[in-house]
Chain A
Amino acid sequence: MKPAKTETIVFSSALYSAEAVRLAAAVFEGRAAISLSKAAGGLRADVTGPENSAGDFANEALNQQCRLDLGLKNSRYASLLSTKALLSAAGDKPGRR
């Protein structure tokens, strides 16, 4: 097994919110050690873990950012679906409270 190595990625604040990168770091708990710090123009991530960890982490950060962007766009319809399902199951009618 190859030893863990550290790679650095800088996530530009023009594309990535700090929330997305932090969420990605939380998902990676147990898979790699992620150290986040401020860097010029964004957020710096030092990724220490098995091979491909840095690339996988960048994918996860992108996934989280896309999810956040999509949430802004679709949240009303998405909330309607989830709320109706949850309140119907609980025995409430949406909008009662």
Chain B
Amino acid sequence: MTTRKPAKKSAERASGLPYFSFRRLPGGAVLLSNDAGFTASLRAADFALFSAGRLAKGTPLHKELAAKGFVRDLTDFEGCAAACSKRNAFLGAGPGLHILVMTLRCNHKCLYCQSGALGAAGSRSDMSRAVARKSVDFALKSTNPGITIEFQGGEPLLNWDVLRDTVLYARRRGRDLGREVRLALVSNFSLMTEEKARFLLQNEVSICTSLDGPADLHNRNRTYAGGNSHAATVRWLKYFNDSAAKQVPEYRAFKPSALLTVTKYSLGREKEIINEYLRQGLSDIFVRPLAPIGYARKLWPQIGYTSAEFAAFYRSCLDYMIKLNAAGKKIRERNAVIMLEKIVNGSDPGYLDMRCPCGAAIGQLAYNYNGDLYTCDEGRMVGWEGDDLFRVGNVMKDSYRKVMLAPATRACASASNLELQPQCSRCAYKPFCGVCPVYNYETQGSLWGDMPSNERCALSMGVFDALFGLLAKPAGAKILKGWVTP
């Protein structure tokens, strides 16, 4: 007779610790996180006790950790599963964002442009009416119940007639099919007129533009041979803001939004930039880092910066915004809002760049002017540079299903899976983060990238460090949580 030796209890089992990740934050606190998306911030001494399995039972901290799934024997598995499911609800959807590149032409020559824009003359790179309508039909095949069609470019207003027709067509098709269709326009406003603005408002097209800060900074980044880019931007921001403030019974007028692209010239000018946003009646500011893709890659020594420089800039922005909020002024940072939606509310804000797997094709599609389909707008840009790795089909030739299961779609879904990324799989920020296969490919030569030396990873870490650092302080936490709670 053989006897079986009793299984040796692992140190992990003996200490009662479930699987978790941790990160030492600047300032000494230690952040814990788990796959359900729960987090806890511990003092270093408490973390030492916790990780040794010697945290006293019944204390408030022990109760908090137990409720969040950090004490194995007291873990509410159903609760954790429900939290996991809520956080990953996007896995059951499909592409919700459909970017239509109405033209490659643009009348601006921005330093950091990654859209592959051509000059304003000629129309060979304009999307035709047939391709635009086919693109709308294709988008409506998405399994996602609510879709957004975003008109981009180049400068989409350069192809106004087709844009106008596409808006009407999308509205009609949406009504016919009983589908929710949101329409959005990204424009530099330089070609906006009263007539166009009225049409966009009447058809409930939400408006987004770029605002890089005060006039001198904005115009330095966004070169416009035809005039003053900043002046056009603020003029139409006011128009759309006023329309949203008035509202009329016939349609919903949305508040306009603006995007900030941070270049080296922005560093040190945080307060001026934020004050400019407030001056223009904007209550959200999206502090977006520059990516070394497209023109920006060629000009990187002139306009680029390190992840540490961006992190310092970002932290200064947050500090100033918190100060303004404490003084009663309403302004929020969009990156923070997106992350806080995940961290505080445990829900999916629908941000396609920071999720697992990323939204390449399965969350968004970029429709080039000629009907070619790409995993995302960044993937389209790589195609513009002559490498069609991220092309997933063409609206005139390929079926929706074929596109969703195209080799590039599958490769991106696999490469952006954080469970298969060496550093990410154990990162405390994994539940809230995501990697970008296009960025990895452009900067490191493979879809997977190499996270320890990946600048986007370092940049995201900086943003998360800043957020969790502020969340650990009661005053900062109160304001930040207020950004995502009604």
Chain A residues engaging chain B, CB cutoff 8 angstroms:
26-31, 59-60, 63, 66-67, 70-71, 74-75, 77-78, 81-82, 84-86, 88-91
Contacts and interface: CB of A to CB of B under 8 A. Distances in A.
B409 interface: yes
B445 A81 contact: no
A72 to B, nearest CB: 10
A59 B450 contact: yes
Contacts of A26: 446
12 contacts: A30-B445, A63-B448, A63-B452, A67-B420, A70-B421, A82-B413, A85-B90, A88-B91, A89-B93, A89-B94, A89-B362, A91-B401
Nearest to B403: A90
B375 to A, nearest CB: 12
B301 interface: no
Nearest to B423: A66
B178 interface: no
Contacts of B452: 59, 63
A66 B363 CA distance: 28
Nearest to A75: B420
B453 interface: yes
Contacts of A81: 88, 91, 356-357, 417, 419
**Contact size range, B:** 35 or more
A89 B422 contact: no
A74 B420 contact: yes
Given A84-B91, A85-B357, A88-B143, A63 B362 contact: no
Interface in B69-100: 88, 90-95
Contact of A84 (B92, B363, B410, B453): B92
Contact of B410 (A28, A60, A86): A86
Q: Interface centre among A30, A82, A89, by most B CB within 10 Å?
A: A89
Nearest to B426: A70
B450 A60 contact: yes
B306 interface: no
B93 A63 contact: no
Q: Interface centre among A29, A31, A67, by most B CB within 10 Å?
A: A67
B405 A90 contact: yes
B92 to A, nearest CB: 5
B21 interface: no
B445 A74 contact: no
Contacts of A71: 420
Given A74-B420, A89-B404, A82 B361 contact: no
B123 interface: no
A84 B417 CA distance: 12
Given A67-B420, A70-B425, A85 B450 contact: no
Nearest to A86: B413
B417 A89 contact: no
Given A66-B422, A74-B420, A82-B357, A90 B404 contact: yes
A25 B271 CA distance: 46
A31 B91 CA distance: 36
Given A30-B445, A60-B450, A86 B362 contact: yes
Interface in B334-358: 356-357
A85 B419 CA distance: 14
Given A88-B91, A89-B362, A78 B405 contact: no
B393 to A, nearest CB: 13
A70 B448 CA distance: 13
B363 to A, nearest CB: 8
A82 B421 contact: no
Contacts of B444: 27
Given A63-B422, A70-B422, A78-B417, A89 B95 contact: yes
B414 interface: yes
Given A67-B421, A90-B94, A91-B94, 16 more contacts: A74-B420, A78-B419, A81-B91, A81-B356, A82-B410, A82-B417, A85-B91, A86-B405, A86-B409, A86-B410, A89-B93, A89-B95, A89-B362, A90-B143, A90-B404, A91-B404
A36 B451 CA distance: 25
Interface in B424-467: 425, 444-446, 448, 450-453
Contacts of A82: 357, 410, 413-414, 417
A28 B444 CA distance: 9
A61 to B, nearest CB: 10
Contact of B420 (A31, A70, A84, A88): A70
Contact of B94 (A59, A67, A88): A88
Interface string B52-63: 000000000000
B417 A88 contact: no
A67 B448 contact: yes
Contacts of B421: 67, 70
Given A89-B362, A91-B143, A59 B445 contact: no
Given A81-B356, A82-B357, A89-B361, A74 B419 contact: yes
Nearest to B447: A27
A88 B404 CA distance: 9
Interface in B354-371: 356-357, 361-363
Contacts of A60: 450
Nearest to B95: A89
Nearest to B450: A63
A28 B445 contact: yes
A51 to B, nearest CB: 16
